[in-house]
Structure 1
Amino acid sequence: MQYITKDLIYQDYIDKTLDTVDVLWVMSSVEEFLSKKLDEKINLTEKIVELINADRPKIKLHRINDDYFFVMPYFTRHHSGYLVEYIYYIYREDGYIVTLYKEKPEFFKGIEHDIKNKKIGKLNVNKLLFYILEECCENYYSLSDWFMSELEKLESKIYDVYSISYLRNLLNFKNMVYRYAHIVNLSKYVVDDLNEIDMLAESKDSLSMVLNEKYRDASERLRFVLESANNVIESYVSIMDLKANEQMRFLTIVATLLMPLTVISGIYGMNFNNMPELRWRYGYFITLAVMAIITIIQIIYFKRKKWL
């Protein structure tokens, strides 16, 4: 087993290695790989080069002559969350795997370490592909854990914040989870296709079953986060409706309390000459007392009805 990093890739090394080892793992950035014309040395077709250079990578398995080509996403930690990146896989049954990327995934370092320290054991090209895809799936687990922790932070504010901006944040979060869940789900289909053509192992091999289960579990985790985000949004909208109803009820009660007082003040605000109450010595105080009694009666009634 040998592997090549982008710092070691050059023509003579490829010439010697392809003839002397059973399993070859080539790791390189896309630019490095194509600029050194290694695509020609490994006899890649124009179709594969075209797929590598595509603006929008398609997460799909392609069979092109003797090669299998597919794209798998992985996610890199960013200060504001996770960004999606892609690894381009070129696989040939005669013993090599090429992995191309814009930025080298962190989990590749762990696989390199295990290979150097012989922790993985004897490898063939199928088992090597299994271990690479398994570590890629662990990256999806980290993504789903981060999404869940962020959702818990948003959910903790659900009763304290009453604003459109908070709802907008929830919707943006849900859209991001949906997009990443869709990407991971497409990866699951690629793994299913790999197992169907026995690239990872025999159809009943425990390794292929483990990998299938892991990708299915990663997809289900993100789907669970998406459903949880939908539930939080629905709960928040319900809380907003309840708060709006509470405010409307409060305004209705205030308007009801003021209505008889407005009628009384309106009557005695009319400028008629023949209004005997205006000449009463205690007319003003009696009117205030009547207004206070009416208000108290209304408040008692509202409390008995549990409207206050």
Structure 2
Amino acid sequence: MSIRKRSKKAGLAPGTLIHMGRAKTGATRIDLVEYDESHLEARSVESIEQCLVKKPLPTVTWVNVDGLADLEVLRHFGSCYGIHPLVLEDILATDQRPKAADYGEYLYVVLKMITLDGESGELKSEQVSLVLGQNYLVSFQEGLEGDVFEQVRSRLNNEKARLRAMGPDFLLHALLDVIVDHYFLVLEEISDRIEDIEDELIDNPTTATVQAIYRLKRQLLFLHKAFWPLREAVSSLQRRDSQLIRDTTVIYLRDLYDHTVQVLDTLETLREMLSGMLDIYLSSVSNRLNEVMKVLTIIATIFMPLSFIVGLYGMNFKYMPELEWHYGYYMVLFLSALIGGGMLVYFKKRRWI
């Protein structure tokens, strides 16, 4: 987020609600899913009151708030679920560093949901904030088109899925897991593009090649900023002594932590590959320049004795015996060709050309 956007909050009290994300005037969409092992009900609701009825365990309530432009909706959620104003402020500030925080009655987790546009090749990033309570989970999205949670919704529709028999902490893991899985998809796509650039570097590197390398370097830098703190956030979740996370879920969080480590390892490998490719490009350009300079040097070296001969007989002295010789002109041509050809043969034997 730019410094200019941050300047909107200068001098305001902590906890003041100001939307710091992308400008969006559309209505906030609220989706409600209530489920247990034998029952599931999913619907969109018009008013907040429809999703504020907290049902006892084992019924799990998942509220997905899509769109942050309506501050009254967020403020109402905060008052009804007891969410601290500082957490609400973090939800609205969509440049948050991925983290996990324990507020006693609920856990707050924030991270980036990242996808890659197949046509433009640009990264699409959206902040997702998750609030985990005793028997509920509230997720906040910025309101961009689409998300990666469709797989989780499909699993919820399956009565035999483990997700239906677990609590909201396992739903939290499921949402985090599907986001991290899409990180792998993004890195896989970037890896394919790096391989294409490698082939281009070998065949015919151009300025467009180096521009593509720098574009990928910027994307990987952005991904590094999103991935690196997430590892610590997931690590704190699986090490945290919280009653909201059961021991059965901790095992899955450990597996999720391993996935985040793999994501970072893959990311670092791709960054090293790009750095090496940039060095290869610069070396290739330098080698091509050296080849051009070598050819020009050989041409200049061949013409040096020829220029000497031409210059010698171009002097304006009155008495130069060769100028009166009938075959002098042809002899100069023969001598020039002999010298030039001899130098080419010499350069060839020395493998300079």
Q: Structure 1 length as normaliser, TM-score?
A: 0.91
Describe the superposition over 1:154-208 as per-residue Cα deviations: whole angstroms up to 9, x where unpaired.
Answer: 1111033344443232122112112212311221121111111056543995312
Residue 209 of structure 2 is aligned to residue 166 of structure 1: yes
Match of 1:101 in 2: 141
Give the CA deviation at 1:62. 2.5
Match of 2:18 in 1: none
Matches within 5 A, 1:283-298: 283-298=328-343
Match of 2:124 in 1: 83
Residue 154 of structure 2 is aligned to residue 117 of structure 1: no
Match of 1:240 in 2: 285
Q: Structure 1 residues 207 and 19 mapped into 2: Cα distance closer, same or farther (>3 Å)? A: closer
In 2, the alpha carbon distance for the partners of 1:104 and 1:17 equals 29
Contact 2:51 2:63 in 1 (8 A): no
Using the TM superposition, name which of 60-69 and 134-143 deviates more. Answer: 60-69
Of Structure 1 and Structure 2, the greater helix share is in: 1
SS at match of 1:106: coil
In 2, the alpha carbon distance for the partners of 1:234 and 1:201 equals 49
Aligned residues: 307
Structural RMSD (CA): 2.4
SS at match of 1:86: strand
Give the CA deviation at 1:150. 0.9
In 1, the alpha carbon distance for the partners of 2:145 and 2:236 equals 25
Contact 2:224 2:267 in 1 (8 A): yes
Q: Structure 1 residues 226 and 9 mapped into 2: Cα distance closer, same or farther (>3 Å)? A: farther
- Point out where structure 2 has 5 or more consecutive residues left out of the alignment: 1-32, 36-40
Matches within 5 A, 1:1-308: 2=34, 7-8=44-45, 10-19=47-56, 22-31=59-68, 34-36=71-73, 37-78=76-117, 79-81=119-121, 82-92=123-133, 94-102=134-142, 103=144, 105-121=146-162, 122-198=165-241, 200-202=245-247, 205-308=250-353
SS at match of 2:315: coil
In 1, the alpha carbon distance for the partners of 2:160 and 2:71 equals 32
Describe the superposition over 1:75-94 as per-residue Cα deviations: whole angstroms up to 9, x where unpaired.
Answer: 133231221211011122x1
Amino acid at match of 2:88: V
Contact 2:108 2:129 in 1 (8 A): yes
Amino acid at match of 2:330: F
Describe the superposition over 1:140-164 as per-residue Cα deviations: whole angstroms up to 9, x where unpaired.
Answer: 0111011001111111110333444
SS at match of 2:289: helix
Q: Structure 1 residues 56 and 182 mapped into 2: Cα distance closer, same or farther (>3 Å)? A: closer
Q: Structure 1 residues 190 and 140 mapped into 2: Cα distance closer, same or farther (>3 Å)? A: same
How much identity, in percent, do the aligned residues show? 22
Contact 2:98 2:230 in 1 (8 A): yes
Q: Structure 2 length as normaliser, TM-score?
A: 0.80
